[in-house]
Structure 1
Amino acid sequence: MALLGNYSLCSSDAALQLPLPSITKIHKRKNGRWRSPEAAIIPNLHLPMRSLEVKNRTSVDDIIKLRLITAIKTPYLPDGRFDLVAYDDLMHMQIINGAEGVIVGGTTGEGHLMSWDEHIMLIGHTVNCFGGSIKVIGNTGSNSTREAIHATEQGFAVGMHAALHINPYYGKTSLQGLISHFETILSMGPTIVYNVPSRTGQDIPPPVIHTLAQNVNLAGVKECVSNDRIKEYTDKGLVIWSGNDDECHDARWGFGATGVISVASNLIPGLMHELMFGGKNPKLNSKLMPLIEWLFREPNPIGLNTALAQLGVVRPVFRLPYVPLPLARRLEFVNIVNNLGRENFVGERDVQVLDDDDFILVDRY
């Protein structure tokens, strides 16, 4: 950056104070062959994104205190494009009900069904519209370190406050490979590591996490293995978010978790806020179990997508390979809403049972 002081490109001087090449050198012949004139060499003022740069982003300390983070749903138009009007409404509902952060383009938000252009656009849109009211955590993870690096650079460039990173899936790697992969990502900014072996096929074991914890950019871990694993980490001072809605109450109040990264808060953000902020409340936790069990009977986000459509807050559009829950399950959801109280759910329309023909399945998007 010191070079910027020596070469002001907006200077009022008549010309840049740069050493000019010798005219005789420009036209010098060698071996009888003509050489083109050499341009004046201007010092390289381009500073690519590197971990030691000062960037306009939040600090790790601002991430580690978040208690309710919603893995936000991505709604679609009938042609499969993003429905940003519905998305913005969902975001407003999260903010007014006390969510402190959102995961954009995570599993729940179907980031794996997005192009990277879509992915980064949605992160940037969320930051621009809501970044002053809620922390925006972009899921920029990949099983390819190269892709994870590129997406994370772009995510921070458009202003996300932190990154969420899963371990390399399908191909997997060795434990040292896990460490090397995450250390490369951690160099870029505040990061939450996401451990969900049921989806990746590989656990991130405690020795790997303890090694990564030495990096100042590790904000914490979204842990889905068990509350016992969470307790093992929190006893050693690590920041952990429960990744399981059905275990998050006990994780928060009995096992030391900071909070939850939640799917259910898409539907009932106010009740999930109470669960994370209001102290130990086994009665409320038990009351929410039928909804949570219903949500995850099929792989997430199938239940959530169906529920939000029946609540009338998103269009009933699914990007394949996801398809709606069958009619019997849709009927169950109406009963669950009535039992919990429609006022506790997002949206204002009456919950309805959608017919099979109401849903649109998009195969090209």
Structure 2
Amino acid sequence: MASSLLLMNQILSSPDAFAAPSSPVLGRRLKSIRHAGGACVRTRRWTSPVAALVQNFHLPMRSLEVKNRTSVDDIRSLRLITAIKTPYLPDGRFDLEAYDSLMRMQIFNGAEGVIVGGTTGEGQLMSWDEHIMLIAHTVNCFGTTIKVIGNTGSNSTGEAIHATEQGFAVGMHAALHINPYYGKTSMQGLVSHFESVLSMGPTIIYNVPSRTGQDIPPSVIQTITQNPNMAGVKECMGNERIKGYVDQGIVIWSGNDDECHDSRWTFGATGVISVTSNLVPGLMKELMVQGQNLSLNSKLMPLMKWLFKEPNPIGLNTALAQLGVIRPVFRLPYVPLPLASRLEFVRIVEALGRENFVGDKDVQVLDDDDFTLVGRY
């Protein structure tokens, strides 16, 4: 198992891991991969990394196989965690070159952690093999300089268990778990669901009733907080809820960018798990680290409001495309914001200063025809 994981991680550390199955580059890489000691592992026949992963997907990978063990306290100390965007090529596959560039910009500007494959990263539009490979790629390329938190939650407890085992096996530092959505359960069901995954490693619980249709009440959080792997909560129910948890010594990250300044400096949150920091990581780091700054918070508010005019990640995808840091490719059902909103974004960038945003290209207004919408990927 350990040798196969090493082989998989070496494969996944390369952008070629997401090339088409017919790629000669990937074929050569799979046929002969040299270990540090000099020995070569040769496959009997070529198989794509997707097929290799799916074949063993349901084999249990227990927490003892975690590659990058991280203490819960390390996770609890993170102040700026970016819910990183997943960019795409025109055919809908991952654009790892653009993804790696986004990651480098996050690290350079002071982000301390990233959520991989969350709502913002469109994990809901990924197959599980894509999902785990992206976590592995992020760990292998950036795991020594930033904490990698994999969204391995599901409305199926069994699926969440398998994905979390896989995520920790490929080296993620912590897991993000949402409560079961659509097929909602009882309060005791919530406790049992979370306890099923908490044993594997540091875990952040994500409460966002607007998406799940069910609030995770304080009684459930108080119960599972007894587990030593419970790192804290990403809370979207407002600052009064946050204050209540902080008063009980529970670590909280704001899940609402437009409230995160007050969450941090008035109500005691540790920090924010942010969408806006994809665009202005340096300003968001300043907002979370350098003390109360009502002026900066006010300046950022138009951008934050704009980002959530439509459900996330529609605004972010549109913005990053207009900044030229990702291709204007959307996996359906997401579609770009309308032209009027795209024009408004240009004005927001000009007001905040282009130098504060990621990338080095001029912001532009894209036409409808510039966007590619992909239904099959």
| Distance in 1 between residues matched to 2:283 and 2:244, nearest whole Å | 28
| Distance in 2 between residues matched to 1:299 and 1:50, nearest whole Å | 36
Letter in 1 for 2:338: P
Q: Give the aligned partner of residue 97 of structure 1.
A: 109
Q: Give the aligned partner of residue 108 of structure 1.
A: 120
Structure 2: tracts of 5 or more residues without a match: 1-58
Q: 1:351 to 1:136 in 2, by over 3 A?
A: same
Matches within 5 A, 1:1-365: 49-50=61-62, 56-365=68-377
Largest Rg, 1 or 2: 1
1:39-69 deviation per Cα after TM superposition (whole angstroms, max 9, x unaligned): xxxxxxxx96445777641110110000000
| Distance in 2 between residues matched to 1:48 and 1:302, nearest whole Å | 35
Structure 1: tracts of 5 or more residues without a match: 1-46
Q: 1:314 to 1:48 in 2, by over 3 A?
A: closer
Match of 2:91, SS state, is coil
Letter in 1 for 2:270: T
Larger fraction in helix: 2
| Distance in 1 between residues matched to 2:283 and 2:100, nearest whole Å | 21
Q: 1:328 to 1:185 in 2, by over 3 A?
A: same
| Distance in 2 between residues matched to 1:264 and 1:57, nearest whole Å | 29
Letter in 2 for 1:363: G
Match of 1:318, SS state, is strand
| Distance in 2 between residues matched to 1:291 and 1:244, nearest whole Å | 13
Match of 2:258, SS state, is coil
Q: Give the aligned partner of residue 24 of structure 1.
A: none
Match of 1:69, SS state, is strand
Q: Is the 8 A contact 2:319 2:345 kept in 1?
A: yes
Structure 1 stretches of 4+ with a deviation exceeding 2 A read 47-56
Letter in 2 for 1:182: F
RMSD across aligned C-alpha pairs, in angstroms?
1.2
Q: TM-score, normalised by structure 1?
A: 0.86
Letter in 2 for 1:180: S
| Distance in 2 between residues matched to 1:148 and 1:48, nearest whole Å | 12
Q: Is the 8 A contact 2:67 2:170 kept in 1?
A: no
Offset of residue 133 of structure 1: 0.4
Match of 2:185, SS state, is coil
Instruction: Say how many residue pairs are matched.
Output: 319
1:284-310 deviation per Cα after TM superposition (whole angstroms, max 9, x unaligned): 001100000000010000000000000
Q: Is the 8 A contact 2:66 2:170 kept in 1?
A: no
Q: Give the aligned partner of residue 19 of structure 1.
A: none
Match of 1:287, SS state, is helix
